[in-house]
Structure 1
Amino acid sequence: MSNIKALPLLEPEVDQGVVPCCPPLTERPLTAEEAERTAAMFKALGDPVRLRLFSLVASHEGGEACVCDISDVGVSQPTVSHHLKKLKEAGLLSSERRGTWVYYRVEPSVMAAMGQMLTAAAPAA
């Protein structure tokens, strides 16, 4: 298992919130750092249980889900927690503890960044 900490898919930009780390893949080749960030995101989503958890959170009513509502994915609760931790480390989820429960959300900027990165550039006229 790698000890490399995943770099976030998004980078803070002064006075403008968050911006995607990487251009659309069709715009130009990625730098080594951009490729590391992108690979960390895809690696986190490359596990079927993680992809399912990400989908459950992203599609949950209100844009956030309590861990109690998404833990029935065919693995034990400790394994669910492990996978959610990996998604957080990759910058794909954020969380907030409320009493005994933890609520997870996919920030809209993460979804926008993923979509932008995978969008093909329009053909030149």
Structure 2
Amino acid sequence: MDRHAEDARIFKAFCDPNRLKILELLRGGEKCACVLLEDLEISQSTLSYHMKILCDSGVVVGHPEGKWMHYAISEEGAQRARGRLQALTNSGDASDTGCVCRK
């Protein structure tokens, strides 16, 4: 997978209000899917859809406990997302415009 496709996969995690709510809830630590369902008032299938995107991005990790999945923010994945955002938005040397047009 090329870098741009990887970046799109990472940043897709942040492009939905429900996923942002989930990330906010997970900031407090690991949560069971049953708790997320109660707090978000969404269906099981909707939660599963959003958790797949969050886990595929690497920002969230999940593991089964009994019949429920438990989710947490991946520090490694969050750091990777922060690093990619910084790399994409870093203006570099402001004196070099990169313009080669004739004046």
* Deviations 1:90-119 (CA, angstroms, capped at 9, x unpaired): 222211111122111121111211222223
Q: Which runs of 5+ in 2 are unaligned?
A: 95-103
Instruction: State how 1:45-84 maps to structure 2 within 5 Å.
Output: 45-57=14-26, 59-60=27-28, 63-71=29-37, 72-84=39-51
1:116 alignment counterpart: 83
Percent identity at matched positions? 30
SS of match in other structure, 1:45: coil
CA RMSD of aligned residues (A): 2.2
Q: Give the distance between the partners of 2:57 and 2:82, measured in 1 at CA.
A: 16
For residues 102 and 90 of structure 1, what CA distance do their matches in structure 2 show? 17
Instruction: Give a deviation string over 1:3-47, Cα, whole Å, max 9, x none.
Output: xxxx6xxxxxxxxxxxxxxxxxxxxxxxxx111111112223211
Q: CA deviation at 1:67?
A: 1.0
> Which letter does structure 2 place at the counterpart of 1:37?
E
TM-score by length of 1: 0.60
2:4 corresponds to 1:35: yes
- The structure with the largest alpha-carbon Rg is 2
Higher relative contact order (CA closer than 8 Å, sequence separation 6+): 1
Aligned length: 90
